[in-house]
Amino acid sequence: MVDNSSTSPNWDINLPLSQSEEASVAAVRQQKPNAAPLLAASKLSKSFGGVRAVDNAEIQVPQGSITGLIGPNGAGKTTLFNLLSSFIQPDSGQVLFDGEPIQNLQPHQIAQQGMVRTFQVARVLSRMSVMENMLLAAQKQTGENFWNVWLQPRKLRQEERKLQRQAMEVLDSVGLASKAEDYAGALSGGQRKLLEIARVLMTQPKLILLDEPAAGVNPTLINQICEHVVRWNREGMTFLIIEHNMDVIMSLCDRVWVLAEGRNLADGTPTEIQQNNAVLEAYLGQ
Ligand SMILES: Nc1ncnc2c1ncn2[C@@H]1O[C@H](COP(=O)(O)OP(=O)(O)OP(=O)(O)O)[C@@H](O)[C@H]1O
Ligand SMILES: [Mg+2]
C-alpha cells in the first residue's frame, strides 16, 4: 500500500459538468460505438495472506475508449492493475489483450505488445536527466544490440538522433521540453507524473493504464493532463484510468467500473455510476 494522504476521495458526486465539459465528453463518446474490448479480464482473484485483494473481478476496456476504474481506498484497484499488467500473477482468472491471453507473459513482453502502465507513485529515475529518462524508455533501439555499436555506428547515431527528436516532441507536447536537461528528481510531483506518462508514450502504446494521474497534482496541471489524455485518445490511444478525483473521471471517461472490497460493484456510464446507490454507500461507508 502507498501513502494515501494525497488520495482521499474527491467525491463531489453531484457536481454538474460545465457545458463545454459536457460537449467534449459527448464528442469523445460519439466516436466509439460498441467498440470491441482491447483488454478483457474475467474471474480474476488475488489474495495476500488472508486478504482477498481482488475477488472474482472482471473488467473490459473497449478499443478507443477512456475507461475509468474507481472504488474506495483499499478496494483492490492497484492490485487489479498489477494483475492486468502481469506485475503480479493471479491466483485464478484470465486476461486477454487484443484477444490473446497475456497472464503468463512478463511485463516487458506485454509492453512490447502495446500495453503500458504508470504507477500510483511516479517511478522516474531521479538522478538521470529528463531526456535520459525518455531515451531509456524507448524500445527497439538499434544500440541495444552490442554488435551494432561496432558494425553499424552510423546507423546507431542516426537512430539516437531520431529518438532524441521523438523524445523532444513528446516532452514538448506535455510542456516539459524546457526541463529536458534537468534532473528528473528536480521536477515537481505533477511534472514527474507527466514525465512518467511521456516515457510510456515513447513506446507508442495501444493502451495506457494510469494509476491516479491526478493525485497530488495541482489543478492547473490536472487540467493539462486531462487535455493531453483527450488529445491522445482522439489520436487512437485507449486508456484505463484509476482516479479518486471524480471531476477527472466524469469529464474523461466513457464507462466506469467500480470495485469495492475486491469485487465488482457496478459498471456503467459516468452518469449511471453517479446515481448508483450501492456506489454512494460504498464511498460513504469507508
Ligand atoms: N503486496 C501486498 N501485500 C499484502 N497486502 C496487499 C498488497 N498489495 C495490496 N494489498 C492489500 O490489498 C488490498 C487492496 O489494495 P490496493 O492497493 O489494490 O487498493 P487500491 O484500491 O489501489 O487502494 P487506494 O485507492 O488506496 O490506492 C488492501 O487491503 C491492501 O492492503
Ligand atoms: Mg491504489
Most confident region among 3-12, 62-71, 142-151 by mean pLDDT: 62-71
Residue 232 in this model has a pLDDT that exceeds 60: yes
Mean pLDDT computed over 174-179? 92
Look at 112 and 7; give whichever has higher pLDDT: 112
Q: How far is the CA of 54 from the centre of ligand 1 (A)?
A: 9
Q: How far is the CA of 49 from the centre of ligand 1 (A)?
A: 12
Alpha helices in the chain (DSSP H): 19-30, 77-84, 107-113, 130-137, 146-151, 153-173, 189-201, 219-234, 246-252, 270-274, 277-284
- Domains (ranges, CATH) in the chain? 19-124+191-284 (3.40.50.300), 127-186 (no CATH)
Residue 142 in this model has a pLDDT that exceeds 50: no
* CA angle at 191 for the pair 186 and 197, rounded to the nearest 5°: 125
Q: Could you give the dihedral angle defined by the CA atoms of residues 129, 216, 166 and 169, in that order, rounded to the nearest 10 degrees?
A: -110
State which residues have CB under 5 angstroms from ligand 2, the bound ion: 77-78, 120
Note the pTM of the prediction, 2 decimals: 0.84
Q: Which residues have any ligand 1 atom within 6 Å of their CB?
A: 1, 4, 7, 48, 51, 53, 71, 73-79, 120
What integer best gives the mean pLDDT of the chain?
Answer: 84
Mean pLDDT computed over 58-81? 96
Ligand nearest to the CA of 53: 1
Q: How far is the CA of 14 from the centre of ligand 2 (A)?
A: 24
pLDDT at 151: 65
Residue 123 in this model has a pLDDT that exceeds 90: no
Ligand nearest to the CA of 79: 1
- Which residues are CB-contacts of 79 (< 8 A; sequence separation ≥ 6)? 46, 53, 54, 88, 262
The share of the chain scoring above pLDDT 90, in percent, equals 56
| Among protein residues, the one whose CA lies closest to atom 9 of ligand 1 | 1
| Among protein residues, the one whose CA lies closest to atom 24 of ligand 1 | 73
pLDDT at 187: 93
Residue 28 in this model has a pLDDT that exceeds 90: no
Q: How far is the CA of 211 from the centre of ligand 2 (A)?
A: 7
